[in-house]
Amino acid sequence: MQNICMKRSRLVLAFSFLAFTFLIFLPFPSLSQAAPVTLEEPMPDFTLPVYQGGEIKLSDLRGKNVMIIFARGYARPGAWCTICDYKYVELAELEKTTQLRKKYNLEILFVLPYDRDTVKAWLDALPGQIEKIRMTKNPPDPSKLDEKAKATMEGYRKVFPKDLTVPKGEVPVPIPILIDGDRKVSKALDLFRTEWGSKVDQNVPTTFIIDKNGIVRFKYFSQNTFDRPSYEYLMGILGCITVEK
């Protein structure tokens, strides 16, 4: 984290105080002006319905840091992205145990490019998805596995290091899940794809961190489905932003 902060400090010092002050008072650009999202510039404004109820307008969150996670969703027809499932549950657990939002003056938004019924289907499938990960990592008798199954077990242990559980009927929803059913936001940010590793409606997994003044301070576009920044890394970025004057 110290190295990240040092790099961050050098980047911030590259801008004059006058320019930075000017950015603070810029309004959020409209989504129609969105191409592309640029570091150290205001994040385009948008409004989306929230699965848990109501809606969120990004500009209404000014004064807080905001982390926006655009999840992939489907990995192939009829199959959810296992990594997205794991990352969501991991984030929900971190919020529960460490109170990320309070610690970093943060709001977290988790966006899926589907309608409400499809998002509900995703949530309903979460317990089974997480249990599948657990069973693949920890089979009853690994000695009976063939070489392919052993390789899968080892791969899962590397990609999914934490043992997470989601009891049926207790799906965690502490984080606002935004419904981008018409893909207006996902398409405007050039994240939506009908083919990305497979032919299915999905987003390229992407993370944005926006500071309390609405300025984009970090963005990460995955090159493949395994390419995701760890939450430890993201918390390092947030820690640097939070301590800045």
In angstroms, the Cα distances linking 14 to 8, 44, 139, 140, 154 are: 10, 23, 52, 56, 44
144 in a structural domain: no
Output the DSSP codes for 1-53.
Answer: -HHHHHHHHHHHHTS-HHHHHHHHTPPPPPGGG-SS--TTSBPPP-EEEBTTS
Output the DSSP codes for 158-202.
Answer: HH--S-----TT-----S-EEE-TT-HHHHHTT-EEEESSSEEEE
Structure tokens at 129: 């998805």
* Cα–Cα distance measured from residue 80 to residue 113, given in angstroms and rounded to the nearest whole number: 13
pTM of the model: 0.87
Range of the domain at 211: 2-127+175-243
84 in a structural domain: yes
Judging by beta carbons within 10 Å of its beta carbon (0-12, 13-18, 19+), is residue 83 exposed, middle or buried?
buried
140 in a structural domain: no
**Torsion of the alpha carbons at 27, 33, 37 and 42, rounded to the nearest 10:** 0
143 in a structural domain: no
117 in a structural domain: yes
59 in a structural domain: yes
Domain count, the chain: 1
Structure tokens at 106: 């943060």
15 in a structural domain: yes
Judging by beta carbons within 10 Å of its beta carbon (0-12, 13-18, 19+), is residue 181 exposed, middle or buried?
middle
* Cα–Cα distance measured from residue 245 to residue 238, given in angstroms and rounded to the nearest whole number: 13
Q: Do 113 and 179 touch, CB atoms closer than 8 A? A: no
Residue 3, pLDDT score: 56
* Cα–Cα distance measured from residue 201 to residue 75, given in angstroms and rounded to the nearest whole number: 9
Which residue from 43, 177, 45 is spatially nearest to 114, judged by alpha carbons?
177
Judging by beta carbons within 10 Å of its beta carbon (0-12, 13-18, 19+), is residue 217 exposed, middle or buried?
buried
The residue count of the chain comes to 245
Q: Are strands 74-76 and 79-80 parallel, antiparallel or unpaired?
A: antiparallel
Q: Residue 36, preceding bond cis, omega within 30 degrees?
A: yes
134 in a structural domain: no
CA 99 to chain CA centroid, Å, is 17
Residue 5, pLDDT score: 63
Q: What is the pLDDT along the chain (245 residues), one digit of tens a residue?
A: 545 565 544 444 333 333 344 444 455 666 665 567 999 999 999 999 999 999 999 999 999 999 999 999 999 999 999 999 999 999 999 999 999 999 999 999 999 999 999 999 999 999 999 999 999 999 999 999 999 999 999 999 999 999 999 988 888 899 999 999 999 999 999 999 999 999 999 999 999 999 999 999 999 999 999 999 999 999 999 999 988 76
CATH classification of the domain holding 50: 3.40.30.10
